[in-house]
Amino acid sequence: MSRGKVIAASLSAGVILSFASGSPGLASEKPDTVTVLLDGLDHPAQGVAEKVAKDGSVVATITTAKGTVTVAGQRGALATMKSDTGATKKGAPTASGGIETAVTLPDVKDQDAKALAKAYRSSGRSVVLDAMATGMSFEDAVRSFGDMDPEGTAALLKARSASTGGTLTLASPTKQTTTSTTSAVLAAAPVLLDSVCADASGDAGNATSHACAVRYIDWSSGGDVYYSHKEKVTARDDDWWYALDTAKVWVVYGSGNSVVDWDPYTTIPRGSCGTVSVGVTDPKTGVNIGYSGTVCPDKEGPVWTDSNRGYGAYWSGYSRDYQGAVATSVVHSPPSASGSMTVKTYIHWS
């Protein structure tokens, strides 16, 4: 099969390209959608570079004429970059537009949940390392996403402190709480299963975003699973011509799954920057997972998609400074439904 052709058979060659014209071709023809299998293999003709991290996760960078996306996630996941172009302001060298990133994780419901969680920890993976793999510094990754995995972050801080011979103290704007209603539920405390991070850049590099999501298993029996999630995005566009107007992050499941608890519940207007706390209670176990983040004007609100099978949060306004949104959710996945999860993030500038 020649380079640039659409690959139909289970991404055997790694990349699918989609063009506005409807005809397949090379990446130089400005594809609107690029999908890549996280298999650790480079595809330079399609603008895709991959590497395998020490912890076994795969980092993939997709570059098109409209921007760049870097994702970090488990091997076998699918990463997709979609771009759209809007109007061009008079005299501006670039156009308004947006970039959506999606990372779809394989269905692992038929595997032992405890074994998967143990494998995640023993490999050394953490959401902070995923964020660093997509381009963030250690300090920024801890400040932005460390509260999504307190146990893993504490281990990283301890290791970093030992290697530098000093104590690393980072002031985090967010906090994490995990509580239980009964002692019996403590035995079924949420266990971290996997994490995904994505970095997107557009508007000639002026628009940037960092987003991460972590998934916990709250309860599992015979393919009947309750998952809880933390989702966060931070983004900016410091272009003279344009500014950030939208930043979103959300998770989506397939048919048969349903979101059973979520936060934020409603749109939260913001007159000034302040702390917003979000939290969910798993209806199966009674376990609560919550944390908080800084949200600035104009507002943060819920993202509902795919007939209540997807949920997250958005920020909207008009800003050249970093803005963000945080969300939590619980998804019930019955035995008949797939446990495959897609993490999506979107930024738009105008």
pLDDT per residue over 92-139, tens digit each? Answer: 888 899 999 999 999 988 888 888 889 999 999 999 999 999 999 999
With pLDDT > 70 as the criterion, what percentage of the chain qualifies? Answer: 84
Say what the pLDDT of residue 8 is: 30
Say what the pLDDT of residue 313 is: 96
Contacting residues for 2 by C-beta, under 8 A, at least 6 apart: none
Lowest mean pLDDT among 54-58, 242-246, 286-290, 308-312: 286-290
Which band of pLDDT confidence, cut at 50, 70 and 90, is reported for residue 180?
Answer: very low
**Beta-bridge partners for 65:** none
pLDDT, average across residues 250-278: 91
Lowest mean pLDDT among 43-47, 175-179, 222-226, 319-323: 175-179
Say what the pLDDT of residue 16 is: 75
> Taking the alpha carbons of 176, 182, 187, 191 in that order, is the dihedral positive or negative?
negative
Say what the pLDDT of residue 275 is: 83
Say what the pLDDT of residue 175 is: 37
93: helix, coil or strand?
Answer: coil
DSSP 8-state symbol, 43: B
Q: Which residue, 218, 189, 214, 37, is CA-closest to 120?
A: 214
- CB of 223 within 8 A of CB of 110? yes
Q: Kindly report the pTM of this predicted structure.
A: 0.86
Q: Which residue, 318, 314, 340, is CA-closest to 327?
A: 314
How does pLDDT run across 34-80, given as a tens digit for each residue? Answer: 999 999 999 888 889 999 999 999 999 999 988 999 999 999 999 99
Say what the pLDDT of residue 86 is: 85
How does pLDDT run across 89-99, given as a tens digit for each residue? Answer: 988 888 899 99
Question: How far is the C-alpha of 208 from the C-alpha of 203, rounded, in Å?
Answer: 9
How does pLDDT run across 200-219, given as a tens digit for each residue? Answer: 999 999 999 999 999 999 99
**DSSP H/E element including 297:** none
**Phi, psi at 263, each rounded to 5°:** -160, 135
Alpha helices in 40-171 (DSSP H): 113-122, 127-133, 138-145, 150-164
Say what the pLDDT of residue 26 is: 37
pLDDT higher than 60, residue 174: no
Q: Directed axis angle between helix 138-145 and helix 150-164, to 10°? A: 150
